[in-house]
Structure 1
Amino acid sequence: MTDYDLNHDGVTDAETHDYNGDGYSETTVYDRNEDGVADAVGVDSNADGYNDTVYYDDNEDGHVDGYSTDTNGNGVADTYHSV
């Protein structure tokens, strides 16, 4: 796991996880408002450096509110889904 303090205030804003040790992060967890609760989780399932799917918790209730997918692998979300 690698922690990132993007605004240099001493609080982790994002962390990446390389579960299989191949040098690529399979998941990235984002905490936009630094309250300790994950606001989004990105999944890079094919180790290309781009999140294939990002799950969002917009209202911070601990449940997924929606997700986006990059279906053609260009690093840009192509579809958005509400749940």
Structure 2
Amino acid sequence: MDGWGLLIMLMGWSVPGYFALQLILWRRWDGGWRRLALVPLWGTVPVTAYTLFALAAGSNLWPLIMLFTLPLAFVYLLALVILKRLR
């Protein structure tokens, strides 16, 4: 597997990884850390709604926007986990 194939695979796996990590952090963290962990929801909820609408409309490109935005949210949450552990 070349570098691009690996990148595409990681982008795909970051979508369910984001949803799992978002749920875990929402349940386990409190205070300011929880608020910071909920910041990506401002972007990911509309993207998820749009993606589901596109799927229901029969679009064959329905997952594209999710595949480009949710990996960024996943990386943000991973950075928060690392920052909290370092503190």
How high is the TM-score relative to the length of structure 1?
A: 0.22
Query: For the pair shown, which has the larger CA radius of gyration, 1 or 2?
Result: 2
Going by fraction, where is helix more abundant, 1 or 2?
2
Question: Relative to total residues, which structure has the larger strand share, 1 or 2?
Answer: 1
TM-score (norm 2): 0.22
Question: Looking at both structures, which has the greater relative contact order when contacts are Cα pairs under 8 Å and sequence separation is at least 6?
Answer: 2
